[in-house]
Amino acid sequence: MSLPSQPRVVVTGAGSGLGRALCEELARRKARVVVSDVDTTSAEETALRVTQGGGEAHVVSCDVTDVAQVEALADTATRVFGGVDLLVNNAGVVSAGAVGALPLAEWKRVLDINLWGVIYGCHVFAPRMRLQGSGHILNIASSAGLVYVPDLAAYNVSKAGVVALSETLHVELKAAGIGVTVACPSFFRTNIANMGRYADETLRTLAVQMVGSARIGPDVIARKLLSAVDARSLYSVPMADARWGWRLRRMSPGLFLRTVAALDRTARAWLLRRG
């Protein structure tokens, strides 16, 4: 079952990137969107785009690492729109560094936002959806939640946790008529790499180059993810490279790990040649 006409939606991390693109795509469906971000200024810019695009927007400042703020976000959505048809747990950050090199404080920050932020969202909104007898949760993970590469341990762990949570929720909520989709895109054009934190400059350069060379923008990903929601699909893995990597890891774990190691060496050698 697809989303209803003029769906009531909550999007976290909606101030930029994929969160903003999802809001803009939802506006084309005349959605009523609670635009949430820790940065109120960027959220207001997204809200303006929603209203210009044909939707309705209400801005809420929310730090997803604070469960009380997530509760307040849900209360606002209920008060303003009378309920929620779609929750998008999108807020996220990236950090890179080898285990032992990336500070533990950075591990905590990544897990607090990327994993606990999603846990809080599901914990708060799922019971409300049960009461209304409908709804859908879209959790934004990453291909890093399915295939794991070096120097991204904190990010990998956070996104793998989101995949596991989503799979569990899919079973728990299905009988209640609530859908769950977990999104696992690979590289697409956003500012997440530029805003990331890195244990060394080589990792920063590699991340910025990889994201910057992506041919797909967040608007394309947003459309694919909402199509997956309409289809009630559990997994949305929109890029072929992520699908092949996930398939290889399941079919031949040893070959997958050898391939990852070889690709890592190749990427570093390429950076050295570029100077």
Catalytic residue status for 155 = yes
pLDDT tens digits for 60-83?
A: 999 999 999 999 999 999 999 999
Q: Which is catalytic among the residues 120, 155, 198, 235?
A: 155
Radius of gyration of the chain (CA): 18
pLDDT tens digits for 79-123?
A: 999 999 999 999 999 888 899 999 999 999 999 999 999 999 999
Q: Which of 210, 190, 196 is nearest to 97 (CA)?
A: 196
- CA dist list (Å): 115 to 112, 132, 164: 6, 26, 11
**DSSP label of 40:** H
d(CA 216, CA 220): 7
The model's pTM is: 0.92
Which residue in this structure is represented by tokens 């635009």? 35
pLDDT tens digits for 249-261?
A: 999 999 989 998 8
Which burial class, exposed, middle or buried, applies to 177 when counting CB atoms under 10 A from its CB (0-12, 13-18, 19+)?
middle
For residue 255 the two structure tokens come to: 């070959």
Domain spanning 8-240: CATH 3.40.50.720: yes
